[in-house]
């Protein structure tokens, strides 16, 4: 039945948003993982979403995660001559993670996730009521 497409759509959004939450968690966890080389230090990861129209139903799109890209912002250079990983000039390189951006992403992803859970719940309720029609 076509109404079960709602579950596919909301489900795809849930997995996309939870992947986004995962990247936020990864970025925040590694925000202070400094290194001595700006190229090998951790780079912030960002998921890329895309709307996908299925063959059977061209009107309603589900969400697909096209991939996870690394932010191209240059690594943050900090002067810490006492640090064991400091280079010859006394600099260490911190990941290009912006904690403020990540927190905003976190809130947005968590709200979107909640919204889609509500959609799922409503659709489930309606489907159940339809199944018990006439009893």
Q: Least distance to other proteins from the beta carbon of 17, Å?
A: 8
> Given the rule CB under 8 A, which of 11-19, 30-38, 76-84, 90-98 is the region that contacts other proteins?
11-19
Q: Least distance to other proteins from the beta carbon of 10, Å?
A: 5
Tell which one of 21, 60, 68, 106 touches other proteins (CB under 8 A): 60
Distances (CA, A) of 77 to 34, 43, 73: 9, 13, 12
CA contacts within 13 A on the Cβ side of 26 = 14
CA contacts within 13 A on the Cβ side of 58 = 0
Site string for other proteins, 66-95 (x = CB under 8 A): ------------------------------
């Amino acid at each position: 039945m076509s109404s079960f497409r709602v579950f596919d759509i909301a489900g795809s959004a849930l997995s996309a948003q939870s992947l986004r939450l995962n990247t936020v968690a990864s970025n925040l966890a590694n925000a202070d993982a400094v290194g001595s080389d700006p190229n090998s230090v951790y780079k912030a990861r960002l998921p890329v979403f895309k709307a996908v129209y299925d063959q059977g139903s061209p009107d309603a799109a589900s969400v697909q995660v096209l991939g996870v890209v690394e932010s191209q912002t240059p690594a943050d250079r900090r002067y810490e001559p006492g640090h064991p990983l400091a280079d010859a000039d006394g600099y260490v390189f911190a990941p290009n993670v912006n904690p403020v951006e990540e927190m905003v992403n976190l809130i947005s992803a968590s709200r979107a996730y909640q919204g889609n859970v509500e959609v799922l719940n409503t659709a489930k309720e309606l489907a159940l009521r339809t199944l018990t029609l006439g009893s």
